[in-house]
Chain A
């Protein structure tokens, strides 16, 4: 059974770079798109972007200039970097495999000076 475990820094200052990693356990990394999604406190879900095992990416147009999603197939891991963060980037960040509805536990990231 596929499980996703994610980690990364939870408190950032404005202008810093958010960095999160998600490890995929118990299943194949290939053949799927792996996704990052975020949820500001008390609000809805926002798709950030996705990557497949070949490194093909798709990004949200609203975040594209600041987002990089990468993979390490040797470790079955994907990573998210979001540069120049502001308070508006405060959210719970999830990694997920939309196909099959598999989600990580979420990481709360707070941006505050």
Chain B
């Protein structure tokens, strides 16, 4: 199984400031035949299913604000919220879909400082 490790576990950021979440996979999720990283980021608010933010490591899902961005390749990835808004308080998960079993990071809780 590919193990996904997120850091930090929680993060408190002032409104308007940058939030950065890291995700590391135990093996590369980059598929050389199509040059894509099989890595997604989700946002989950209490009582709701996860919402897809980013796929292919850096492609923003339709309707997702452009303050959310994803970067990285191979085994190391980052989700950045460039200017934190109150509605961004949530738990964020990375997920690899390179192979089964699909696996998720443990989650990062983002709060307002």
Contacts and interface: CB of A to CB of B under 8 A. Distances in A.
A84 interface: no
A7 to B, nearest CB: 15
A25 interface: no
B59 to A, nearest CB: 11
B103 A94 contact: no
Contacts of B102: 35, 47, 50, 98
A106 B105 CA distance: 20
Contact of B49 (A47, A59, A60, A105): A105
| Chain B binding surface, main DSSP class | loop
A58 to B, nearest CB: 4
Interface residues of B, number: 20
A112 B103 CA distance: 27
B40 A101 contact: yes
Nearest to B51: A101
Given A44-B106, A61-B1, A101-B40, A106 B101 contact: no
Contacts of A94: 49
Interface in A60-89: 60-61
13 contacts: A44-B107, A45-B95, A47-B100, A59-B101, A61-B1, A61-B101, A96-B49, A101-B42, A101-B52, A103-B50, A104-B49, A105-B49, A106-B49
B104 A45 contact: yes
B29 to A, nearest CB: 14
Nearest to B103: A47
Interface string A28-70: 0000000100000000111100100000001111000000000
A82 to B, nearest CB: 15
Interface string B77-113: 0000000000000000101010011111111000000
